[in-house]
Structure 1
Amino acid sequence: MTADFEEYLQHARVQQRLSPRTLSIYTDGLERLQALLAEGAIDARSLTITQARRFAALLHREGLGPKSIALLLSVWRSAYRWLGLQGRVALNPFDGLRAPKAPKPLPKALGVDDAVQLASHAPDEAADSRLEARDRAMVELLYGAGLRAAELIGLDVQASGQADGWVDLQSTEIHVLGKGGKRRSTPLGKAAAEALRAWLAVRGQLAVAGETALFVGARGHRISGSTLRTMLSARAVSAGMPAHVHPHMLRHSFASHLLQSSGDLRAVQELLGHAHITTTQVYTQLDHQHLARIYDAAHPRAKK
């Protein structure tokens, strides 16, 4: 490694007091840069912006992920910033150079059978039947209507000027206040309606007087997000789900399964309350993955 890089690492250790782990990362990064410089017979102090861009492209070509490339570029940028302060280079060739954006991870969705199993799962007989009625109704609304956790928690028993949302069993519609203060209405399916009626029949045994929330906790007040998450996670384990289940996963499942069956992206966008169609389009990738799995499992030419 060049004396310039060695001195920078010494500065990072003594002056910046970087941790041993961070110093190890910086050392590895600068050794990688030194190898690229040696391969191209380039002097570290005369590295140009064009050459720096080529180094970044080489990292991408080698198969490094966006996060790994971003980390290396950050190390190199820091080293050349110090070299500039020392008057050893006229410019920092890595200034403004960014790693490629990491693709957004696809939302995780349950399979149709798993989602239905979770919604219809009945825990052991020792469970409180009132809480079980509540939990089943909440799962049915998350999966059957694609509600966000906050939208579900914000539902009231009746419509009022203060209500963020409510369920109209007569017209079988759910009215919610979504992101950005935008209101929307979504249909209430048969299974969800039946589960809600069963819950409303026993809700009065738990809710304290004057409580307007549709879903309440064991103490009779509006249910919290942590209680919802804990309930759903435990219910998934009890139902034998293959992965950790959280409320938004049921919203993803709602969107994915609806799109698989209908193919109507605009309708799914409206039901989810997405402001932009591009947000909904991620579910088309999930649909493609579903079709690809079917192809791989069933088509004779898909097998090796």
Structure 2
Amino acid sequence: MQMVLSFPDISPEIFSIDLGGFSFALRWYALAYITGILLGWQLARATVRRARLWPRDTAPMTPEAVEELITSVILGIILGGRLGFVLFYQPAYYLANPIEIPMIWQGGMSFHGGMLGVTVAGLLFARRHGVPLLSICDLMALCTPPGLFLGRIANFINAELWGRPSDLPWAVIFPGQAAQDCPGVEGLCARHPSQLYEAGLEGLLLGGLLVFLAYRRGWLKRPGQIMGLFVAGYGTARFLVEFVRQADAQFITPDNPLGHVVQLGALGVSMGQLLSLPMIVLGLGLIAFARARRAPTTA
């Protein structure tokens, strides 16, 4: 008999309140965003307070300025994440239904788009305040993994973004008709809990490595290193998990059951992998660029 795990009975809503015919609910996904931003904010404040970690033993900003940066980052996450989903994953649908583009409560956010939005927010902040852009990018990269970890856990609770069918002992029987639509599988269909794979790789492993290198190995002293490792690390983790993650429905056809957007004979790459490849190259390039420059000395 196949050993698999049943999906835990956890509601996507923590609680809901009905007021005057309207229902207001706090969902795990929203809580993950809020908690991730708060944890990132506290880590950013703690990091800029440690001047010895930065080039010339001088932090790029004050703890008070971090609050303004976080506000810009939140806008970048929301705008970039939503527009990225619209452009990368369902452009035809939203071109026909443009009024639904701002309806983020219906779901649909892209990490790659969110990252571009955050990068733009960091660039504008750096120009406005005259602070080193790469150091700002390093700080934002260092503080992102807690939000990634919580976001992936929320994806699991929401029973979304699950993996491909699997008979491994830790495969999970996700609820819903879409999750149970597994051609060739008789009975209940178990799938890779790919959300948990990403939580472990993008959140715990990558986040722990970034903190260790920043606090114990002086990687913040060479601007661009931490950002480069984050970009390359996320891209690598996402690329690997995509091998067992179910492709988005709009890419799956009878002739393309794995949802590849680029076919290479019998092989292919998914949209997530296609977007991750430039991240790996860019991240490694940033690390090489940072290490090639002379490390700033103490003034």
User: TM-score when scaled to structure 2?
Assistant: 0.24
Higher relative contact order (CA 8 A, sep 6+): 2
User: TM-score when scaled to structure 1?
Assistant: 0.24
